[in-house]
């Protein structure tokens, strides 16, 4: 992979500082680099529109957080270009490489040691009066939720044309395995292993406490009809794109024909990621350190 696109989180100085050293390093190794227009002027080099970078590149380096990764995943998915995420953000579930480790990661890529992991994506469309009026592709989740002042909403849900229930809730999350550690997790949904072939439907603050998350195969057809007359209800895609819904609109969700291809460092362990990001075992670790100090 010698044709490398670089897309950075906007409004941050860290990508520019990192690229001042990284770009000469890549070029010394024979790489041709395409930097997005938002960052290139600060480096005094030619930039390229983000929309053109997938066509120019064999891989894309993303400098930012998970939000930047999600936007790039939607941008490149039709071209099948693999992505390496470098974490300049906070939690960083899918931007797994730290800034200090980028050179080691690139050495692994050039030597063929990294693997490319394919992640499920979803297609979501909105039907109004039996006419499709919007369509999206997402990596994390499709969310229907009410605004701050709207009352609880009714969401009639079908799976493969089979009636499930009417969820009376603040909203509903349909999540991929990648998105299971995002909004889905915050709403009490399950953590799904990232390469499993399934999706999760998770109600947000359901009126009936027995409404629990449901895990389904990834090849099902999910249809969710808004039965409430509330005006303040939105469809949100990956937490970044929004669409206002009306009563009787139907959101149709299926497995996307595209996949996000993530470049994974060969020593990556998903359960270590969970322990690190979610703080699993911290209490036991603190107790162990305390006992070591006290000799107990």
- Domain range list for the chain: 3-114+265-285, 121-257
Residue with tokens 């906007």: 10
Contacts of 266 (CB under 8 A, 6+ apart): 108, 113, 114, 115
Do 97 and 105 touch, CB atoms closer than 8 A? Answer: yes
The predicted pLDDT at position 245 comes to: 96
What tens digit of pLDDT does each residue of 190-220 get?
999 999 999 999 999 999 889 999 999 999 9
Backbone phi, then psi, for 272, in 5-degree steps? -65, -40
Higher pLDDT, 12 or 267: 12
The predicted pLDDT at position 286 comes to: 55
Q: Radius of gyration over alpha carbons of the chain, in Å?
A: 21
The predicted pLDDT at position 93 comes to: 80
Do 201 and 160 touch, CB atoms closer than 8 A? Answer: no
The predicted pLDDT at position 288 comes to: 54
Contacts of 131 (CB under 8 A, 6+ apart): none
Backbone phi, then psi, for 106, in 5-degree steps? -65, -35
Backbone phi, then psi, for 100, in 5-degree steps? -65, -20
What tens digit of pLDDT does each residue of 213-258 get?
999 999 999 999 999 987 789 999 999 999 999 999 999 999 999 9
Q: 177 pLDDT exceeds 90?
A: yes
Strand partners, 203: 172
Pick the catalytic residue: 36, 66, 141, 170? 66
> CA-to-CA distance for 251 and 142, rounded, in angstroms?
9
Active site residue 197: no
pTM for this structure? Answer: 0.89
Mean pLDDT across the stretch 148-159?
A: 90
Strand partners, 142: 174, 237
Residue 16: Cβ-neighbour burial (10 angstroms; 0-12, 13-18, 19+): middle
CATH 3.40.630.30 for the 3-114+265-285 domain, yes or no: no
CA angle 210/213/219 to nearest 5° reads 140
Mean pLDDT across the stretch 10-16?
A: 87
CA angle 95/5/105 to nearest 5° reads 45
Percent of the chain having pLDDT more than 70?
Answer: 93
**What separation in angstroms does the CA of 203 have from each of 92, 168, 188, 210?**
24, 9, 9, 10
Q: Which fold has domain 121-257?
A: Tumour Suppressor Smad4 (2.60.200)
What tens digit of pLDDT does each residue of 33-68 get?
999 999 999 999 999 999 999 999 999 999 998 899
């Amino acid at each position: 992979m010698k044709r490398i696109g670089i897309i950075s989180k906007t409004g941050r100085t860290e990508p520019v500082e990192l690229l001042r050293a990284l770009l000469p390093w890549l070029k010394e190794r024979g790489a041709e680099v395409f930097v997005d227009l938002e960052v290139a002027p600060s480096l005094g080099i030619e930039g390229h529109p983000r929309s053109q970078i997938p066509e120019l590149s064999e891989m894309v380096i993303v400098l930012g957080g998970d939000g930047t990764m999600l936007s790039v995943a939607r941008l490149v998915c039709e071209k099948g270009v693999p992505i390496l995420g470098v974490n300049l953000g906070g939690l960083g579930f899918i931007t797994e490489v730290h800034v200090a480790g980028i050179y080691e990661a690139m050495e692994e890529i050039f030597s063929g040691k990294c693997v490319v992991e394919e992640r499920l994506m979803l297609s979501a469309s909105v039907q109004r009066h039996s006419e499709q009026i919007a369509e999206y592709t997402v990596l994390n989740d499709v969310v229907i939720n009410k605004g701050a002042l709207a009352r609880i909403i009714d969401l009639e849900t079908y799976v493969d044309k089979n009636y499930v229930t009417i969820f009376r809730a603040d909203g509903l999350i349909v999540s991929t395995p990648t998105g299971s550690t995002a909004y889905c997790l915050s709403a009490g949904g399950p953590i799904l292993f990232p390469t499993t072939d399934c999706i999760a439907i998770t109600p947000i603050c359901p009126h009936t406490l027995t409404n629990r998350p449901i895990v389904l195969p990834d090849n099902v057809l999910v249809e969710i009809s808004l039965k409430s007359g509330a005006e303040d209800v939105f469809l949100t895609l990956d937490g970044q794109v929004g669409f206002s819904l009306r009563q009787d609109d139907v959101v149709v969700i299926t497995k996307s024909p595209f996949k996000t291809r993530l470049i994974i460092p060969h020593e990556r362990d998903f359960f270590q990621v969970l322990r690190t990001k979610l703080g699993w075992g911290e209490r036991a670790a603190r107790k162990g350190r305390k006992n070591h100090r006290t000799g107990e």
